[in-house]
Chains A and B, each alone.
Chain A
């Protein structure tokens, strides 16, 4: 895959407009199912990305709910559009999902017999957790369990949480992906036991005819994230920027490369020129500089290794598709990038 030479930007690139319209012009037969909309199977890596602008999150979303998202390790999944999902039926969904989980647990297949049978699922809308007005609102799902032998009135424990969201999604792409009864919330964040993830996932598959797949993050995307996040001015929990490179040798070896946040910020501000967008060349240059520096000291070419993890004051991300949000201020921007990855992932 190559990036286009003329450097047209925006995610619009990776999916052409409705093909069927093109087809009518060129006279390709449209018969039956093939006439359904299609998109090109390959999308090009964009050569520049916009820095999303947004109002502070705390004004629109309950800070307690936001706190639930922060400082936890989330596993990323991409979800194909959901059929007939409605924001007005969340209560009913919660009831059915709870019943489903209980039924699954009692099947005798679940190993932990007799524990955590009193589970309850809740759906809560996070309408404010969106980048633009037209983004569909996010949904937070929690599975609560009553601890055994607990005193009456004790608080339920959150054993699993998941969050469907869609921030800064490109409108045309969304339009292409969905229809009247299909709702696209492409990014699904999960924190909790895998068995529960499977149960919730299965229920969603049955109820809304959607499919979940793991969402790994490529080295290239990690590099983009690192660069973009360096540009964000975090005000709390400032930590060192750390990269982990995996060396392709046996036995397995990792190189950790930590940089003082001020230093990398200074480097980035020298490289980065534009106001509201980041160019691919700038990202390349940033890593070029880091590699050169590293080579001067250790005589190791980092360019021959794989970037597997990035952590900054804003967030940390691992190539396996694991993410931790550290900054409330830039939560939406981070989610925006992840949404883009998720959308790419469901355009098979």
Chain B
């Protein structure tokens, strides 16, 4: 509720603003309509305010047809200063259309030449820009000769040529006009705008224009309409509203940036528009004729209900690439059983990725275009919740050349690589990725780990879906599961190797955080995804996390160990009860390893015995003489939740809360009853992982808190 309130008031505010705008606009129009005779700009605040109002309104909402009439009359009458005329024309963006009467009046004023040449030029440019908004072009066409006569004026000539180019029809091409143009051409030399006009004449009547046109002119007209184009588009978009409601989601968020070069290229648009097959329309293929009446044209598919109603009579688009941006078609493609559409899509996608996006083969396209395309592909895979083998192949080929460009998109694509046999993944993905990982910055390492976590997550989800399927089909599980398990296990081992390496290189808490994030997922595979597999973190990850100076990481490690415990306990009970319907791949070695970790952890956090009790070969066991030589006299009590580097901040804080300032500072006094209080303090600070861990793994004698003996639940595979 609290959040809604401001939003609603904001909305009301904007409504009020809009009302005010409309009122101002109306007043301005009334004022401007009554301008008769020259008006002086200087010190004329009313005028300036009104012009402001018009500008403001025009750029926001566009100018309605009747207002265009008024403003054009004013501008072309020459009553205002030139600068104001220019400002008015610049904001004269049609909200809907430009009517016939406006055009007639404006052109007659233009011909009367009441305004300056600059304003005339601006007006012509405006006409060219809004050409498509003029309702009755025949009227303009009937002014053809008027415009043509003005060609003599040098400064108007380029814009007039452009306008005439747009207006010219076959019967406009007359010998006298051709002569006139040739004459101008002879006078002024090769001018692109004249050539442009001549070229269209030549298309209509080649026999009249004997001139050979040089081929090097690619564009005849300077961008006369640059001033307005963006605004025009903006307003058209705004006024059109949200054309088709909810279902017109476009997957690539950014509009595809098309190259504006006029050079005709192959594959100039990486994403083809949706079109029905061109064969559907004509009587081309005999077998299509029968079904022709019933097919639903794919261009008309706009909403999900339409898809549902017509799913049996849809035909795939002529170019499969066009489905990429259309969620509806993706839905449709996803339920087709036939191979061919996938083959077509994959060919197209593989082709486009390799030909257009392979940055290492020399840049054919701009970075933005490539990124927009990669993003569309990534969004499509996200939408379908699976990776296509064409993207996979593209990744395998380009990863050895990867220099980190288009980082987020490539990493996105990596996370959707379909599961394949380990040997292949090792060669194609793990090797190149490991090379990149080692030589990159800590931030890049974090992103790679994040993407690998997403990959693992996707695999686990696929697995849980396929398990359901296998259950329903009741096929032999043991045979089908082994390959999958090996792949998942190898991926986790690979992540473990990378993490160990990364932590050795950087000793970074941030990196550790990303690593532990992955193990949070790994620790829960059995319970959450019913994958009969438990893989523990390597010592290279476990010990840095245990001895981390960052309490967030320590807390997360506690939570992870708690989840491992839950998973192992569940696995064991299931195994006893169900008697191996599902063969467990959890080796007794895993239990032993877990117990070693657990001992180290309890020693480190609870009993201060970590250096004595740790039995892990790569652990932190230290000989007594070494500990003595450290000079810490109470080393037997000096490493627990009070002294742990990640928690010492809390203990100091707690100490100051409990004891008065003047008492001698001795952390050793946190024990006994205070120990329990300290624990509660820690829990209250949001260390929930620690809480879960201690409550599950440290069996305390509730009444006698002095006894700090951990009775850890050592699970041993008997």
Contacts and interface: CB of A to CB of B under 8 A. Distances in A.
A37 B334 contact: no
A27 B203 CA distance: 65
Nearest to B393: A41
Nearest to A213: B355
B344 A209 contact: yes
B482 A207 contact: no
Nearest to B206: A114
Contacts of A28: 418-421, 483-484, 487
B49 to A, nearest CB: 46
A41 B203 contact: no
A311 to B, nearest CB: 27
Given A84-B285, A113-B202, A201 B462 contact: no
B388 interface: yes
B386 A31 contact: yes
B200 A108 contact: yes
A34 interface: yes
Contacts of B684: none
A195 B353 contact: no
Nearest to A27: B480
Given A109-B262, A211-B351, A348-B390, A26 B200 contact: no
B388 A34 contact: yes
A108 B203 contact: yes
Interface stretch (B63-71, B92-100, B263-271): B263-271
A83 B421 contact: no
Interface stretch (B79-87, B230-238, B335-343, B527-535): B335-343
Contact of B344 (A106, A108, A182, A202): A182
Nearest to A110: B264
B206 A42 contact: no
Contact of B419 (A29, A83, A111, A211): A29
B389 interface: yes
Nearest to B347: A80
Given A29-B484, A113-B203, A346 B347 contact: yes
A205 interface: yes
Interface string A95-114: 01000000000101111111
A31 B352 contact: no
Given A36-B342, A41-B397, A198-B265, A348 B388 contact: no
Q: Chain A interface mostly helix, strand, loop or mixed?
A: loop
Interface string B316-334: 0011100000000000011
A33 interface: yes
Contact of B267 (A36, A40, A205, A348): A205
B463 A29 contact: yes
A190 to B, nearest CB: 12
Contact of B394 (A211, A346, A348): A348
A207 B389 contact: no
Given A108-B200, A206-B278, A209-B319, A34 B389 contact: yes
A92 B284 contact: yes
Interface string B659-681: 00000000000000000000000
Nearest to B198: A113
A212 interface: yes
Nearest to A208: B318
Nearest to B479: A27
A106 B482 CA distance: 63
Chain B interface bracket (under 10, 10 to 19, 20 to 34, 35 or more):
35 or more
Contacts, number: 153
A280 to B, nearest CB: 22
B392 interface: yes
Interface residues of A, number: 51
Contacts of B200: 108
Interface in B344-394: 344-348, 350-355, 384, 386-390, 392-394
Nearest to B469: A29
B552 interface: no
Interface string B236-262: 000000000000000000000000001
A206 B384 CA distance: 25
Nearest to B463: A29
Nearest to B334: A32
A27 B481 contact: yes
B115 to A, nearest CB: 33
Interface in A113-146: 113-114
A6 interface: no
A209 B396 contact: no
Given A89-B284, A113-B199, A80 B348 contact: yes
A206 B266 contact: no
Contact of B396 (A37, A41, A81, A108): A41
A20 to B, nearest CB: 9
Interface string B446-479: 0000000000000000110110010000000001
Main secondary structure, interface of B, reads: helix
Given A113-B213, A348-B353, A348-B354, A33 B333 contact: yes
Contacts of B22: none
A32 to B, nearest CB: 6
- Best-surrounded residue of A106, A177, A195, A213 (most CB of chain B within 10 A): A213
A27 B319 CA distance: 33
A181 interface: yes
Interface string A194-225: 01001101100111011111000000000000
A38 interface: yes
B387 A34 contact: yes
Contacts of A212: 266
B266 A202 contact: yes
A185 to B, nearest CB: 14
A108 B198 CA distance: 12
A321 B534 CA distance: 54
Contact of A36 (B389, B424, B462): B389
Given A36-B343, A89-B285, A179-B343, A209 B318 contact: yes
B346 to A, nearest CB: 6
B387 A198 contact: no
B170 to A, nearest CB: 13
Contacts of B318: 206-207, 209
B334 A38 contact: no
B373 to A, nearest CB: 14
A198 to B, nearest CB: 5
A346 B349 CA distance: 12
Contacts of A31: 386, 462, 465-466
A201 B344 CA distance: 17
B344 A206 contact: no
Contacts of A213: 351, 354-355
A80 B345 CA distance: 11
B279 interface: yes
B303 to A, nearest CB: 23
A276 interface: no
Contacts of A89: 284-285
A213 to B, nearest CB: 5
B215 interface: yes
B173 interface: no
A330 B624 CA distance: 85
A28 B340 CA distance: 21
Most chain B CB inside 10 Å of its own CB: which residue of A26, A92, A199, A202? A26
Given A27-B483, A96-B278, A211-B267, 15 more contacts: A28-B487, A32-B334, A34-B386, A41-B392, A86-B285, A109-B264, A113-B213, A178-B343, A179-B338, A180-B340, A206-B272, A209-B348, A211-B347, A348-B353, A348-B394
17 contacts: A29-B465, A29-B466, A32-B334, A32-B384, A38-B393, A80-B351, A83-B344, A92-B282, A108-B200, A109-B264, A110-B264, A177-B343, A198-B266, A205-B319, A207-B278, A213-B351, A346-B351
Q: Which 5 A-B pairs have the closest CB atoms?
A: A27-B480, A36-B342, A26-B483, A348-B350, A29-B466
Interface of B: 199-200, 202-203, 206, 213, 215, 218, 262, 264-267, 272, 275, 277-279, 282, 284-285, 318-320, 333-334, 338-340, 342-348, 350-355, 384, 386-390, 392-394, 396-397, 418-421, 424, 428, 462-463, 465-466, 469, 479-484, 487
